[in-house]
Amino acid sequence: MPQDGSQEQELARLESLGARIVDDRRGLTPGGWVVMAGPEGNEFCVEGGE
């Protein structure tokens, strides 16, 4: 979960570092998160926060 800003800001920050969106679940049920992959291909999720 983003600590210092919104989910959108964190996604933009991660993309600027070379990550890419694999699965955008913000508009789906269940949802609210985005699956991303880092430059090496390791996948991780970015939650929407509180």
Interval 1-50: pLDDT, tens: 888 889 999 999 999 999 999 999 999 888 899 999 999 999 999 998 65
Residue at 1 is within a domain = no
Residue at 21 is within a domain = yes
User: What pLDDT, on a 0 to 100 scale, did the predictor assign at position 49?
Assistant: 66
Residue at 42 is within a domain = yes
Residue at 2 is within a domain = no
The range of the structural domain enclosing residue 32 comes to 7-46
User: Which long-range contacts link 32-41 to residues 24+ away (Cβ below 8 Å)?
Assistant: 34/7, 36/11
Residue at 33 is within a domain = yes
Q: How many domains does the chain have?
A: 1
Indicate the pTM of the whole model.
0.85
User: What pLDDT, on a 0 to 100 scale, did the predictor assign at position 29?
Assistant: 84
User: What pLDDT, on a 0 to 100 scale, did the predictor assign at position 50?
Assistant: 59
On whether the CB atoms of residues 35 and 23 are closer than 8 A, the answer is yes
Residue at 29 is within a domain = yes
